[in-house]
Amino acid sequence: MLFCCYCQQQDNHFIIRTLEKLPVHTEVINLRRLLLSTNNISDSINADFSLAKRDEFPYMFFIINHSSRGILTIRKEINRDELCRLRRCRCDTWCDLELEIFVNSEQFNIELITIRIIDKNDHSPQFTSLNNQLNLTIVESAQIGAIIKLEPAIDYDQGQNGIIGYSLVSSTSLPFSLRYDLIRNDLCLVVEENLDRELISSYKFDIIAYDGNNQTGILHIYLNIDDINDSPPKFTQSIYTINNISENISIDSIIIRVHAIDDDEGVNGEITYHLINQDDCFEIDSNTGDVRVQCLLDYEIKTIYQLEIEAKDKGEGSKTDFCTLIIYLMDENDNYPIIDYYPNDIQTDGNTLKLFLNESLPINSLILSLSIIDFDSGDNGRVTWKLDGSSLIPFQLIRLTENTGELRTNHLLDREYISEYYFTIEANDYGKPKSKSTYLNIHINILDINDNKPKFRQENIHTTISEHVKIDNQHNYEVYHIQADDFDQNQNGEIIYSILNENKNFFQIDSQTGIIRAMIEFDRKQQDTYVLHIQAKDKGSSPLSSETTITFTIIPRNEYSPICDIDNNNISLSIMENSKQGTIISTISCRDDDQDELNRQMSVYARWWPEEIDDNTIKYNIPFEIVTQKSNSSESTIQIMIIVNGLIDRELIDYYPLHLTISDHGNPSQSTNISLSINILDENDNCPQLHIETSFIMINRDITKNQFLIHLIASDNDQDLNGQITFELSPLTSPSFIKLYLNGTLIIKTNSNLIYDDSLIILHVQIRDHGQPIPCLIVETLRLFIGSNQTDWLTILKKNNNYDDASLRLVTEQFQQGKRMAYSFSSIQSITTTTLSSLSKHSLYITSLKIRKQIFAVFIGSSIIISIVIITIILCFIDRLYKKTKNKKSTIKSNGINNHSPYILTNGKRYANSSPFNTKFSYENESPTHNYTNLKSMKPIIIVASSNSQSSSSSSSVDSTTRVNTTNNRIMNTTYSYTAIGTSDELMPIEYDDNNDDIHSGIELMMTTV
């Protein structure tokens, strides 16, 4: 048994001290010994001890074990703190529990004992704040000694076990002290120093409560200093300076942000910005301090801006600060030079000055005074200026100072030479990065003075008049038209004609036109000459005049008009296009039966096309010339020949109208008019042209299950049979399931068993016209790709778009020349025939891409070998020909050709008479005259050799095109191209005799074969 109590007797009752929270069954006191020990009979006396009550307070905490022995034990744990809380005992002094004990012995007694519960230090101090944290605030203006009340800690223990003190714990010094009154249980913080939130805005520290047994409780204090508006805003700079702000800065651009600091917080620290001096060009964002541009700045108007800015907080009793913003603008080259002139009342037309100067103005006369202004500064405002115009203008720009100058004359003016001048004065500044320029356009009109006298176009004129001309017109009849020119202007240039001598009764002159008319019927037997003195005078204020004489000789009467050998003076002619130069289309003979030589002399005037035709290309592109010569048989007869002297192309112009006027030289003259029309006949000089967007055609057999149809379209610019076109397939390259009709309809039987999927078929389409004597045939290559729905059409399309055309000619290379057919001759013919005959009808029909590539490779090799053999033969032939030519001693060297040469260059085409393997010379000795042409200006000659053609056979045009000679069973011809390799303009001797055939048989040229 544990004894943890002790006994004290006081005032006739016992006080038994025991600790709280003793375990149950702990012995408190031995009542026998306590109550009966005074008589020393405790062990010998029989006595029973019992509690007066059982379950009531405070008996519920105790029990007497062994009633005879009187052992008082703990029945239930006693919690002194709980009893105090329930006010079952007085915890401010002693927590006593009183028990009545019944003692039943020789006599019955009731004894009163007091159980004093002694506190046990079983609690530590505790603060009531959540998580032992407390947030406090105090205004920063709190006075020293100000108190912040705190809730004390709680310790349910008593006395020394309770709270005996508090302490402050902080890592920094605190402007506070802690005050604690144990009696009043009062805890508070006391302000010991002045607070300044702007220096320290909050404090963090701990308050520790401790009891007598050094048990502690901690309270974490967070003390914030409440702000008052005690700090004014402060700008970071008192003066802000901004340099080099461009005057061209855009509106609403931010140029600077000013910033002020307010150490206060909240509304006390919120700052707004304001412009004190109002300026329309700037504004400030009240919240951010951004200064923005609000107008177009101009350095030339104002270069410096000074703004006063206020910063104001929003606290009670707002505090302010001020700063100055100085803005220096930077000059930009934004002004063009300004050209000012004096006098400033000059007529203007836009930016052009119009000046009127008298042509008598002397040299160095002042025209304009000029000044140049550029409002920019520095190099942007420095200006250079010049006169921009022809160096021939009679003016000069004289610079007096950097910005002033004069425009003066430096030559005499002559309106009749140049009547007006256009030039420009250009002013440029030196601005960066790009200078600006101003232009002053000046238009000067030269005013006329009467400084030119009339001038006759002819002096001392001699002419004739026919005698016995009947006067049947009231205005008489015109015998001469005299003309004079006056280069002055307006009235100064208007001329009045007059007759000065006494022959006014025989003649009269129109004063305005100068037309002289006869007033009588002349008779040369009476007088055979008349002399008139004619004056021409202008109408100037100081008139000027000149004189001349006209001598009229009277000749016999002009009785007959010219007569031509044309019925009704109307004739229709025709000529084949591409006719040679020098070809005579027609010869017209005209005669005049007058006996007098002047009366029977005739002149021819030609007019092509009616005057109302406005197309100058047609009016002036005339491939004919009119040649007039006297007849050898009669002096009164002339021959008018219409001769070809240019290219005749029916496809360009198929008809030329011509009007001829044949006039004699009589006075008055007589004339005859002839109307002709020249019709151009068509020649087969154009080949058919196939019109197709692509030569690669893709066919899907699953869509076109039976047949695929396409219509080929070709055109030929020729006419009639020359332009009639038929189509056919090359028999050696066309499969049986493909058919081409004469009208161009191409049908592919897609259901043929001979077709395999993904097959490429090469077709050679022959397109020919029906021209005579030689039709033109071209061959076009078509590629047909036949597939199905399983075919990757996109890959096929991409692959064939990049198809090399050379690979399409591996088998048919000997047929192709560009896109046209050229038939070979001799050995090449035999090689081609052998090669093609070895191929079956369907040799070009290749069903597999792999097999096709292999066959193509074989033909590539064959073609290379054939080409090498051909080139070797040609080189040997050239070498042999060159050596033979070199050994000859030629007596004539020339590079000229006759107009009647068999080789005619027309529209880039060369015409030649062909003969088999015979050398043709560059001219024929048929014409009495020869016009020689330099071969350097000619294109290479292409000669087509025909098997039986003669020199007189009709010429044919060859332009990379082979014509098939249908009249000779289509015998294949060899095509050569010759180019002169040695020509010189000095090779033709002046004394060259064309007519000596014994010495010269032609001109020998050195040629190379291409």
Q: Examine the domain organization and report whether 738 and 851 are in the same domain.
A: yes
Helix axes 849-887, 827-837, angle to 10 degrees: 170
Distance CA 545, CA 535 (A): 7
Note the pLDDT of residue 65: 85
**In the predicted structure, residue 667 carries a pLDDT above the cut 70:** yes
Instruction: Compare 816 and 313 and report the one with higher pLDDT.
Output: 313
- 206 with 256, same domain? no
Segment among 151-155, 304-308, 634-638, 988-992 with least mean pLDDT: 988-992
926 and 947 both lie in a single domain: yes
Band (pLDDT 50/70/90 cuts) for residue 995 is: very low
Structure letter (DSSP) for residue 143: P
Whether residue 878 is contained in a domain is answered as no
Instruction: Decide if 826 is inside a domain.
Output: yes
Mean pLDDT score, 917-923: 31
Number of domains in the chain: 8
- When pLDDT is averaged across residues 17-23 and rounded to a whole number, the result is 87
Q: Which of 447, 467, 501 is the last residue of a domain?
A: 447
Integer Cα distance of 53 and 66 in angstroms: 17
pLDDT in tens, 151-189: 888 887 777 777 778 889 988 889 999 988 877 888 899
Answer yes or no: do 108 and 137 share one domain.
no
Q: What's the rounded Cα separation, in Å, for the pair 443 and 428?
A: 21
Q: pLDDT, tens digit, for every residue of 28-69?
A: 888 888 887 655 555 667 888 888 888 788 888 888 888 788
Is residue 665 domain-shared with residue 805, that is, in the same domain?
Answer: no
Residue 593, pLDDT score: 86
Least confident of 422-431, 437-446, 939-948: 939-948
Kindly indicate the confidence band of residue 480, based on its pLDDT and cuts at 50, 70 and 90. very high
Residues 708 and 674 placed together within one structural domain of the fold: no
pLDDT one-digit tens code per residue, 121-132: 778 888 888 888
Q: What is the pLDDT of residue 1005?
A: 40
More confident site: 641 or 832 = 641
| pLDDT attached to residue 612 | 66
Whether residue 532 is contained in a domain is answered as no
Say which residue, 476 or 924, is predicted with more confidence. Answer: 476
Between these two residues, 103 and 583, which has the higher pLDDT value? 583
**Three-state DSSP state, 515:** strand
User: What Å distances lie between residue 539 and 121, 448, 497, CA to CA?
Assistant: 149, 13, 11
- pLDDT band for position 961 (cuts 50, 70, 90): very low
Query: Does pLDDT of 921 surpass 50?
Result: no
Per-residue pLDDT, 7: 58
pLDDT: is 595 or 627 the higher one?
A: 627
Average pLDDT over residues 305-332: 91
Is 524 among the domain residues? no
Residue 522 inside a domain? The answer is: no
Place of tokens 């002020």: 260
* Mean model confidence pLDDT for the chain: 78
pLDDT at res. 295: 93
Half-sphere exposure at residue 885, Cβ-oriented, CA atoms within 13 angstroms = 15
Q: Please state, as a whole number, how many other Cβ atoms lie within 10 Å of the Cβ of residue 117.
A: 26
Do 634 and 773 belong to one domain? no
Last residue of a domain, one of 447, 474, 501: 447
Structure tokens at 913: 């008479």
CA distances in angstroms from 95 to 11, 72, 972, listed in the order given: 18, 19, 150
Least confident of 367-371, 719-723, 933-937: 933-937
Distance CA 68, CA 82 (A): 33
| Residue showing tokens 């270069």 | 303
- State whether 729 and 856 are in the same domain: yes
On the question of pLDDT at 975 being above 80, the answer is: no
- Of 220-234, 717-731, 798-812, 905-919, the range with the lowest mean pLDDT is 905-919
Q: Give the tens place of pLDDT for each residue, 405-440.
A: 999 999 999 988 888 999 999 999 988 888 889 999
Q: Which pLDDT score, from 0 to 100, does residue 790 have?
A: 87
Q: What is the CATH number of the domain that holds 142?
A: 2.60.40.60
pLDDT in the model for residue 853 = 61
- pLDDT above 70: residue 738: yes
Most confident segment among 57-71, 583-597, 829-843: 583-597
Question: Domain residues for 892?
Answer: 888-1010
DSSP H helices in 477-589: none
Contacts of 301 (CB under 8 A, 6+ apart): none
Q: How many CA atoms are closer than 13 Å to the CA of 194, on its beta-carbon side?
A: 4
